[in-house]
Chain A
Amino acid sequence: MGRNVAQSRSATTSIVNAQSTSPCAALSIPNLGVDHNVKSILTGALVAGTLKPILSLTNTAGDVDVLALLSVDATARTLALRVTIDGVTSPYAFDSTTNSFSAANTGIVAAGLAAAKTSTSIPTTTDTPLSFNNSFIVEAASSLGETDKSVIFIRYKTRSKA
């Protein structure tokens, strides 16, 4: 008799990249939503400097291969992105804030794209996915009180818990 064996892999405990330490330089990723088949979620109404939950996956396992928070317009601001994996908050898997920047399609990347697009190339997706075994929470913040001026881009797959 066959038996389905749920995949199990270790959860990501920390994400270290060029932007994982605050304050970080913001990264420009034009056309992310167009060129990379990622889901986009506007951040809605943000209170200045206050993290807001955007997406929460609970009681499930999965893998996130793209996660970024980018600006919609060129108003000067900082952006912050926080990721909680399997409820671990000390420390958070990712918790970082950009320096102030003034450009659209610019922000902070926790997973996925390693380089901004040029006219002759696309960003390289060389990052390994973030893995979670029970929960995955994404929170976003802006230095400004504003509405729908930043967007979460995410691509993930869920799988059966072990």
Chain B
Amino acid sequence: MTEEYIEVELPGGGKLVELNRPMPIQTHKTKGILAIEWRRLFGLSQFAIDELRDNISNMAYQVPGSPVSLDIPATAINLPITYRQYLRTCFKAFEEATNGGNGVDVNDELTYPSLKCFEALAILPPGQKEEMIKGVLL
């Protein structure tokens, strides 16, 4: 592949020679996402998420209107553990990341599967996880 170097005469003399490979303009923040930034991506779903988070260890709690139980294997993410077990871990990780940690990372191994779980539980409408996983619009 032929690569191009650009040459620029500098003010006052001198020359800049630079590889002409500008980075595409970043449109979304994908790392170090603050808790409030991540929650806003959920939109109206954040209220149901908050209720789920507060009740994740209440074995009598099920997501209202969900087509699946929290206590069945998480087939949406091909894991033998239950949705409840998986999301409990995800909520803990979120708390650690956003409370003195490095913030939410959309590429973290827990992020997208957690969104798939929320969709399976009918908390997130279909299609929203694909937008959320892009990150926070700059």
With A58-B15, A60-B10 as known contacts, state yes or no: A119 contacts B34, CB within 8 Å: yes
Contact-residue size bin, chain B (C-beta under 8 Å from the other chain): 20 to 34
Q: Which of B17-53 contact A (CB under 8 A)?
A: 17-19, 21-23, 26, 29, 31-35
With A44-B3, A158-B10 as known contacts, state yes or no: A117 contacts B102, CB within 8 Å: yes
Q: Give Cα distance in the complex from A59 to B138, angstroms.
A: 38
Contacts of B23 in A (CB 8 A): 33, 40-42, 151
Contacts of A159 in B (CB 8 A): 12
Q: Is the CB of A57 within 8 A of B15?
A: yes
Q: Is the CB of B102 within 8 A of A41?
A: no
A151: nearest residue on chain B (CB-CB)?
B23
Residue of A44, A54, A60, A119 near B32 (CB, 8 A) is: A119
The smallest beta-carbon distance between B134 and chain A, in angstroms, is 14
Q: Is the CB of A33 within 8 A of B26?
A: yes
Q: In the complex, identify which listed stretch (B66-74, B93-101, B120-128) lies at the interface while the others stay far away.
A: B93-101
The smallest beta-carbon distance between B22 and chain A, in angstroms, is 7
Q: Which of A62-114 contact B (CB under 8 A)?
A: 74, 104-105
With A60-B14, A119-B97, A119-B100 as known contacts, state yes or no: A34 contacts B21, CB within 8 Å: no
Q: Give Cα distance in the complex from A159 to B10, angstroms.
A: 10
Is B80 an interface position by the 8 A CB rule? no
The smallest beta-carbon distance between B81 and chain A, in angstroms, is 25
Q: Is the CB of B17 within 8 A of A55?
A: yes
Residue of B3, B15, B100 near A59 (CB, 8 A) is: B15
9 A-B contacts, Cβ less than 8 Å apart?
A34-B29, A45-B1, A54-B18, A56-B15, A57-B14, A57-B16, A58-B17, A104-B31, A119-B97
A residues engaging B (CB < 8 A)?
A: 28, 30-31, 33-34, 40-45, 52-60, 74, 104-105, 116-120, 147-148, 151, 158-161
13 other contacts beyond A40-B22, A44-B19, A53-B19, with CB at 8 A cut-off? A28-B102, A41-B23, A43-B21, A54-B18, A59-B13, A116-B102, A117-B102, A119-B33, A119-B97, A119-B101, A158-B10, A159-B12, A161-B13
